Amino acid sequence: MNLNLNYFFNPRAVAVVGASNDKNKIGRQILDNIVESGFPGRIYPINLKEKKIAGLKAYVQLTDFSEPDFAKVLVVIAIPGQFVLAEIEKCAQIGIKNIVIITSGFKESGRAGQKMEEAIVQIARKNKLNILGPNCLGLINKAARLNATFAAAGKTAGSCALISQSGAVGSAVLDWLRNRDFGLGRFVSLGNKAVLDENDIINHLASDKDIDLVIAYLEEIKDGRRFMEIVSRLSKYKPVAILKAGMSEVGSRMAMSHTGSMAGSAAAVKAGVERAGAIWLDNLSELFNLLTLFREKERLNSEDKALSIVTNAGGMAVLTADEISRQGLSLGISNDILGDADADCYREALHKMLSDKKINNILIILTPQTSTEVLKTAEEIVAVAKKFPRKFLMASFLGGEGVKLAREFLNKNRIPHFDYPDEAVRIFKKVKDYQNTIKSLRRYSSSVQTRAVRSVSPDYLDSFSLLKKYGFSIIKTVKYSAGKESSYKYPAVLKATGPEFLHKSDKGGVVVGLKTAEELRLAVRILKKKNERAFRNPENYLVVQEQATGFQEIILGFKRDASFGPIMMIGQGGIYAEVLKDFKLSAGGVDFRGALKIISGLKIYPILNGARGQKKYDLRSLAAAMVNLSKLADEHPEILEFDINPLFVFEKGVAAGDIRIIV
């Protein structure tokens, strides 16, 4: 759904169903948070019995108060599950569109809960209701002075929005931010995503001018194509970062049982997030580090990817340079001002480095030694940062007690501080990669996916003709017929095809290097004898293929993900493709330039490109083949899996050698 969420985030009034005089009730905690956050609109506590709650007039039910426009009211529901549906119906009846269901016990808790949730979704669809949850923490909009959650929100606003599918992860982030000198601008706890999901929220935040960074913790992305469409558009001007749980097989199984729904495969999700141009976070500490780094985002705009170091600890500079190199960044200047450096030394070193036009990014490392003036050094850093408003400074003061106050001071004064220098390096790298990615990022459009389903035969020779329609050359392949051996070109390859021979090589179904008609005849006899039963089914038959020479073997294919659509795969091919594990995935289709870029990321790329004075293979034809297969994938949504393996890449041209289709 593409709903207008303006009054959902910026309501004129908020009603809390389940507000209470019992301070232990979640409804009351939410009411208190709304009041304390300074919400300037009208507040309506709803309670069957109470007349007054927290000094506010209370109402028996939603229909009891009057409002000029109910479409501008937000209702927060925190009452036992069995009563929720009736409230939603009331909302629909009086024209309330924006609802948060805090209550849990729905889809996540079994069959009965799922039914209740489905009923809610039906009403929502019919009445175009914006419903967040159920089973969520609520939402916070700092700009609207609205904390409609039962969590403490922290006092400081920020320009970052956090979307969390898990209430627990949301709580942890909010708690981490408490008593820090920066906070979130928006916080949305998605819960069960019965109606509103990450796509709706991200889509709304695209036009939210207060927000310049969107971070989402997600356990599944149900509509990957819409995700790519929204995020590939947004990423261009506002970074989106994704922390996705369930990336291992084990984790993925858990995430499914946790949310009760089928997630896109881990590999597809990663390819899709990459295609959308989003920043991929590996763990919760990276999420915190990104929040920290982004406090000074406007200083990060330089194209410069080199990171310089200034430190009083030579050893730490070496360790940090190791990490810079590991991350593929370049080391600018590493300035070891020695163990006895005081605050003046730091100031002078920084001043000199920052005056150099070539130095734009500095990581300041300090360990507390005898002559170190820890807090004073922090003050000097803040002062010098003010003098150079276009340069990027971050710091890592190592140790414990001795650096505590200085860390807090840096925090308060917007110098990103990291517990360890290598964390600083890693998150810096991610942001620089993002800045680089969006330069060539194309918007993804899911519209090509809507073609009618055509029927494709999984027959071996038929599927070759399908490939031909998309501009592929095929190694000459004909059905074997007994007695015609002398008409084939030698050396030849004999192959068994059909449903019993999906993995030909494993079944001995490929015989190469047949030099004469004699040899072919013998090979046919052996193969037929070994697979007598299979050949009783006419769908299994033999083909004869010309033997290619002077090639590299590539595997090119796609697998259709229910959420993200076709995920293209290209890699080192041949019978050992699975062993070599040299492949790249991409979601959302490829164009020629994109294909060349993907190919250049393969380990086999230097060989294709003529390493060690050897011949070069036809990379442009290979890229063109990727583009063509990508078209085929879009236009044949009935094909679930498609592998060309091997795709022979010659010095000139490419040709399909074998093919496997699953419809």
In DSSP notation, 494-563 reads: EEEESGGGTTTGGGT-EEEEE-SHHHHHHHHHHHHHHTHHHHTSTTSEEEEEEPP-S-EEEEEEEEEETT
- Nearer Cβ to its own copies, position 217 or 460? 217
Q: Which tokens go with 91?
A: 């909302």
For residues 125 and 121, give the distance between their C-alpha atoms in angstroms, rounded to a whole number. 6
The least distance separating its own copies from the CB of residue 318, rounded to whole angstroms, comes to 4
The least distance separating its own copies from the CB of residue 264, rounded to whole angstroms, comes to 15
The least distance separating its own copies from the CB of residue 319, rounded to whole angstroms, comes to 5
Contact pattern from residue 294 through residue 313 relative to its own copies, giving x for each residue in contact according to CB under 8 A and a dash for the rest: -----------------xxx
For residues 11 and 5, give the distance between their C-alpha atoms in angstroms, rounded to a whole number. 10
Choose which of 581, 615, 616, 620 interacts with its own copies (CB under 8 A).
581
- Nearer Cβ to its own copies, position 11 or 368? 368
The least distance separating its own copies from the CB of residue 404, rounded to whole angstroms, comes to 9
Contact pattern from residue 642 through residue 661 relative to its own copies, giving x for each residue in contact according to CB under 8 A and a dash for the rest: --------------------
For residues 274 and 232, give the distance between their C-alpha atoms in angstroms, rounded to a whole number. 9
Taking CB under 8 A as the criterion, which residues in 206-225 touch its own copies? Answer: 217, 219
Counting contacts by CB under 8 A, is residue 620 touching its own copies? no
Q: Using CB atoms within 10 A of its CB, is residue 387 exposed (0-12), middle (13-18) or buried (19+)?
A: exposed
Choose which of 38, 95, 110, 315 interacts with its own copies (CB under 8 A).
315
Counting contacts by CB under 8 A, is residue 316 touching its own copies? yes
Q: Are 26 and 149 in contact (CB under 8 A)?
A: no
For residues 415 and 399, give the distance between their C-alpha atoms in angstroms, rounded to a whole number. 18
For residues 491 and 516, give the distance between their C-alpha atoms in angstroms, rounded to a whole number. 7
Q: Which residues of 471-510 are buried (b: 16+ CB within 10 A; e: fewer)?
A: ebbbbebeebeeeebeebebbbbbbbbbebbeebeeeebb
Please name the residue that has the structure tokens 């072919």: 520
The least distance separating its own copies from the CB of residue 251, rounded to whole angstroms, comes to 4
The least distance separating its own copies from the CB of residue 374, rounded to whole angstroms, comes to 9
CA distance readout (Å), 49 to 19, 30, 67, 399: 11, 18, 22, 56
What is the size of the binding site for its own copies (CB under 8 A)? Answer: 87
- Nearer Cβ to its own copies, position 398 or 562? 398
For residues 288 and 270, give the distance between their C-alpha atoms in angstroms, rounded to a whole number. 20
- Nearer Cβ to its own copies, position 29 or 98? 29
Contact pattern from residue 68 through residue 107 relative to its own copies, giving x for each residue in contact according to CB under 8 A and a dash for the rest: ------------------------------------x---
Q: Are 647 and 629 in contact (CB under 8 A)?
A: no
Taking CB under 8 A as the criterion, which residues in 409-438 touch its own copies? Answer: 419-420, 422-423
Q: Which stretch binds its own copies (CB under 8 A): 224-232, 458-466, 573-581, 585-593?
A: 573-581
For residues 204 and 358, give the distance between their C-alpha atoms in angstroms, rounded to a whole number. 39
Taking CB under 8 A as the criterion, which residues in 135-164 touch its own copies? Answer: 150-151, 164
Choose which of 611, 616, 620, 638 interacts with its own copies (CB under 8 A).
611
For residues 14 and 186, give the distance between their C-alpha atoms in angstroms, rounded to a whole number. 17
In DSSP notation, 101-158 reads: E----SGGG-HHHHHHHHHHHHHHHHHT-EEE-SSS-EEEETTTTEEEESS---S---
Taking CB under 8 A as the criterion, which residues in 357-376 touch its own copies? Answer: 367-370
For residues 577 and 582, give the distance between their C-alpha atoms in angstroms, rounded to a whole number. 7
For residues 202 and 196, give the distance between their C-alpha atoms in angstroms, rounded to a whole number. 10
Q: Which stretch binds its own copies (CB under 8 A): 50-58, 461-469, 490-498, 611-619?
A: 611-619
The least distance separating its own copies from the CB of residue 375, rounded to whole angstroms, comes to 14
Choose which of 60, 71, 94, 168 interacts with its own copies (CB under 8 A).
168
Taking CB under 8 A as the criterion, which residues in 500-519 touch its own copies? Answer: 505-508
- Nearer Cβ to its own copies, position 499 or 508? 508
Counting contacts by CB under 8 A, is residue 603 touching its own copies? yes
Q: Which tokens go with 100?
A: 């948060």
Choose which of 344, 576, 591, 662 interacts with its own copies (CB under 8 A).
576
- Nearer Cβ to its own copies, position 338 or 383? 338
The least distance separating its own copies from the CB of residue 49, rounded to whole angstroms, comes to 23
Taking CB under 8 A as the criterion, which residues in 394-413 touch its own copies? Answer: 398-403
Q: Which stretch binds its own copies (CB under 8 A): 41-49, 124-132, 277-285, 525-533?
A: 277-285
Choose which of 284, 306, 337, 474 interacts with its own copies (CB under 8 A).
284
Q: Are 226 and 136 in contact (CB under 8 A)?
A: no
Q: Which residues pair with 306 in a beta bridge?
A: 330
Contact pattern from residue 246 through residue 275 relative to its own copies, giving x for each residue in contact according to CB under 8 A and a dash for the rest: xxxxxx--xx--x-----------------
Strands 13-17 and 73-77, by their bridges, are: parallel
Strands 641-649 and 659-662, by their bridges, are: antiparallel
For residues 92 and 280, give the distance between their C-alpha atoms in angstroms, rounded to a whole number. 39
- Nearer Cβ to its own copies, position 581 or 593? 581
The least distance separating its own copies from the CB of residue 387, rounded to whole angstroms, comes to 27
Q: Which stretch binds its own copies (CB under 8 A): 202-210, 431-439, 518-526, 605-613?
A: 605-613
Nearest C-alpha neighbor of 654 from the set 575, 548, 562, 564: 548
- Nearer Cβ to its own copies, position 400 or 538? 400
Taking CB under 8 A as the criterion, which residues in 446-505 touch its own copies? Answer: 505
The least distance separating its own copies from the CB of residue 400, rounded to whole angstroms, comes to 4
Counting contacts by CB under 8 A, is residue 245 touching its own copies? yes
Choose which of 28, 97, 180, 560 interacts with its own copies (CB under 8 A).
180
Amino acid identity at 554: I
Distance of CA 374 to the CA centre of its chain: 39
Strands 492-497 and 510-514, by their bridges, are: antiparallel
Counting contacts by CB under 8 A, is residue 586 touching its own copies? no
The least distance separating its own copies from the CB of residue 200, rounded to whole angstroms, comes to 20
The least distance separating its own copies from the CB of residue 398, rounded to whole angstroms, comes to 4
